[in-house]
């Protein structure tokens, strides 16, 4: 199907010799900050969004909450938004209804993983990692591909589930045959060895996508040198940065008995006004409220 403009822009950036970089976001403000920083795309993270609501990443939030947030992220900045659909909110029939709504919201790509619904976080110690049959997930990909607009990224959790490289390669190849534009391969090993081995074995039918949360020692340059990866996602750094900054600021205010000590270390009100588009609003006031 024909790409929408944001999808076409993202597809053009999937360069296996210079992978595109996506930063996670959990609200329009974090998406705008990521775009302003220079990231190529925004990762509409289900983990970050659920964390921002202080609930587990286990399909507890509704699709409408996630969809509205993806739309809002796209409205405040120009970088392509990649929507994290987890397991696709159900089976292939559900996907056939869900993806058109995300397409209408202007997302550049949707990502679905081949785990059972409801999902369990891939990185949670002792989490439940059950995969759906390969043929069932191919049906979800086909349903998503039938919708004009967003790219379809298929995420296999075969390595996370302990099924090994051969099964991960088998699933990735089958998902490309079903129409996936890229394959996201995930690992929770603390070293990049498992992922690097997979990348080297990947036959290259489609670009790979990596989320190096568990193995941060793998640099962007190291990934580019593999010649197989088109996109690197910084999967949860916005919410972690926000949590750390707020925890530190709140602790210092209570310890100091006042706010004066933190003023030099936090954003100014003027900085926030700028992010809100205050100057644009004032210009509209002058133009229309006479």
Question: Mind telling me the catalytic residues?
Answer: 57
DSSP letter for 260, please: G
Dihedral class, residue 207 (left if φ above 0, else alpha if ψ from -120 to 50, else beta): beta
| Orientation of helix 237-256 relative to helix 28-37, angle to 10° | 110
| 233 DSSP assignment | E
Torsion from C-alpha of 85, 87, 90, 93, nearest 10 degrees: 70
| Both tokens assigned to 175 | 């998902």
Task: Give every CB contact of residue 195 below 8 A, 6+ residues apart in sequence.
Answer: 159, 185, 187, 189, 210, 212, 215, 218
Helix runs in 38-188, H state only:
46-52, 63-76, 92-104, 134-145, 164-177
């Amino acid at each position: 199907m024909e790409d929408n403009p944001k999808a076409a822009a993202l597809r053009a950036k999937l360069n296996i010799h210079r992978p595109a970089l996506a930063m996670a976001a959990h609200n329009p403000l974090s998406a705008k900050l990521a775009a302003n920083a220079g990231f190529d795309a925004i990762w509409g993270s289900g983990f970050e969004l659920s964390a921002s609501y202080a609930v587990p990443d286990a399909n507890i939030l509704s699709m409408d909450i996630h969809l509205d947030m993806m739309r809002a992220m796209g409205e405040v900045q120009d970088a392509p938004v990649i929507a994290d659909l987890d397991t696709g909110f159900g089976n292939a029939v559900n996907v056939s209804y869900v993806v058109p709504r995300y397409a209408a919201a202007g997302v550049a790509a949707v990502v679905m993983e081949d785990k059972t619904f409801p999902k369990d976080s891939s990185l949670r110690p002792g989490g439940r990692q059950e995969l759906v049959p390969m043929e069932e997930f191919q049906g979800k990909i086909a349903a998503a591909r039938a919708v004009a607009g967003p790219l379809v990224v298929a995420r296999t959790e075969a390595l996370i589930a302990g099924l090994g490289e051969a099964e991960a390669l088998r699933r990735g190849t089958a998902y490309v045959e079903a129409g996936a534009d890229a394959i996201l391969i995930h690992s929770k090993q603390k070293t990049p060895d498992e992922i690097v081995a997979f990348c080297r074995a990947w036959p290259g039918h489609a670009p790979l996508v990596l989320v190096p949360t568990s193995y941060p020692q793998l640099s962007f340059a190291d990934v580019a040198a593999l010649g197989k990866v088109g996109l690197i996602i910084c999967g949860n750094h916005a919410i972690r940065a926000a949590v750390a900054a707020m925890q530190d600021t709140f602790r210092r205010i209570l310890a100091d008995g006042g706010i004066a000590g933190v003023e030099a270390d936090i954003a100014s009100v003027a900085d926030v006004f700028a992010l809100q588009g205050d100057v644009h609003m004032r210009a509209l006031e002058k133009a229309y409220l006479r």
